[in-house]
Amino acid sequence: MDNLTPKEIADEEMINQAFHELLNDYLATKHRKRVEIITKAFNFANQAHKGIKRRSGEPYIMHPIAVASIVCNEIGLGSTSICAALLHDVVEDTDYTVEDIENIFGPKIAQIVDGLTKISGGIFGDRASAQAENFKKLLLTMSNDIRVILIKIADRLHNMRTLGIFRREKQIRIARETIEIYAPLAHRLGIYNIKWELEDLCFHYLHPEEYADLVRQMKQKRKAREEIVDDTMRVLHEHIEESGIKATITGRPKHFYSIYKKMKRDNKDLSQIYDLYAVRVIVDTIPQCYAILGIAHSLWRPLPNRFKDYIAVPKPNMYQSLHT
C-alpha cells in the first residue's frame, strides 16, 4: 500500500471492518463454514469497484457488503447467495463479464449474478411501475432460482435504507416501484419483516407529512401501549404455562404503513385503530394452536368478526395461523 491518504486509510478500515462483521455473522449461522469462497468474492468485488463512490461519498463496495449482510442475517441464506450478493453489481458496473464470474466462482454463483444483472438492466426502465403486474410475473418466471429474487429484494432494501442521498424525483420513482413491485414480492415470499420495512420506508418518502404526523402521534402513546403489550404477554404466558404447552410469545408494534392504510381506508383517526400492537404465540402443533386460542378467548372476549382461521383456510401463499 503506497501513499494512501488518511481518508483512503480510513475507508479501507471501514470496508474491512464491515466485511469482518459479515463473516462473523455468517459463522454464527448454521450454514457450512465456507469462509474461503466468501472472502474470495469480497476481495474480487472490492478490487472491481475500487475507487468508485456512492453518492453519499462512501466507497461503493459498502453497498454489496450491506446487501450480503441482509441476505445473511435477515433472509438467512448461505454462502452461495452471500457471494452472489457481494458480486451482484460487478457485471453491471465494471468491465467484468458473467463468464469471468463463472471462471472464478463456478456456474451457480455466475447464474445468480447473471439473473440479478438482467433484472436491473434497463430493459424495464421507468415504465416498470406502469406494468407492475406483468413485471412481477416476469420476475417470478425469469428466475428459476428464487435466490435471484431474494437477493434483489435485499438490494432494494439497502437502496431504500439509503434513499436519503438521492434527489426527490429519484426517491419518489424508486419508492413507487418498491411499493408496487418489491413489497408485494416480499409478502408473497413470506419475508414479512422486510416487507414491513420496505413499506414504511416507501410511506416515509411518498407521504412525508402524513408519515411524520403518524410517527409523532404514535410516540406520544408508545409507553402506554408498550405496557399494555407487556401485561398481555405476561398474563398469557402464565396461563399457557399452567396448560403445560411449550410456546414462544412475542409482541410487536404494527408497522406505520399498515396503520396509515387502515386509517385511510376506513376514514378513521389513530384513536379508532385497535390493533396497533400484536402478540404472537408460536407452538409446535396445530391442536396446540387451537388450545392457545381457547386460552386467549377465555382471558379476553374476542371481537366479533375479527377472528380468522388461516389454518383451516390457508392464505394463497400457504400462510397458516389463527388471528384474533
Binding site for Mn ion (CB under 5 A): 89, 155
Per DSSP, the residues of 13-72 read: HHHHHHHHHHHHHHHTSSS---HHHHHHHHHHHHHHTTT-B-TTSSBTTHHHHHHHHHHH
In the bound complex, what is the minimum distance in angstroms from residue 56's beta carbon to Mn ion? Answer: 14
Q: Tell me the three cell numbers of residue 4.
A: 494512501
Which residue lies nearer to Mn ion by CB, 65 or 295? 65
User: Rounded to the nearest whole angstrom, what is the least distance from the CB of residue 52 to Mn ion in the complex?
Assistant: 12
Concerning whether 199 is annotated as a catalytic residue, the answer is no
Catalytic residue among 12, 93, 145, 309: 93
The residue of the chain with the least Cβ separation from Mn ion equals: 155
Report the residue count for the chain: 324
CB of 205 to Mn ion, least distance (A): 18
Active-site residue (options: 92, 227, 230, 284) = 92
For residue 53, the number of C-alpha atoms closer than 13 Å in the C-beta half-sphere is 9
Angstrom CA distances, 25 to 10, 28, 43, 64, 87, stand at 23, 5, 18, 15, 18
Pick 8 or 92: Cβ nearer Mn ion: 92
Residue 190 backbone zone (phi > 0: left; psi -120 to 50: alpha; other: beta)? left
Q: Which is nearer to Mn ion, 183 or 236 (CB)?
A: 183
Catalytic residue status for 92: yes
Give the amino acid at 7.
K
Q: How far is the CB of 63 from Mn ion (least distance, A)?
A: 6
Chain centre to alpha carbon of residue 164: 18
Nearer to Mn ion by Cβ, of 70 and 259: the residue is 70
Active-site positions read 92-93
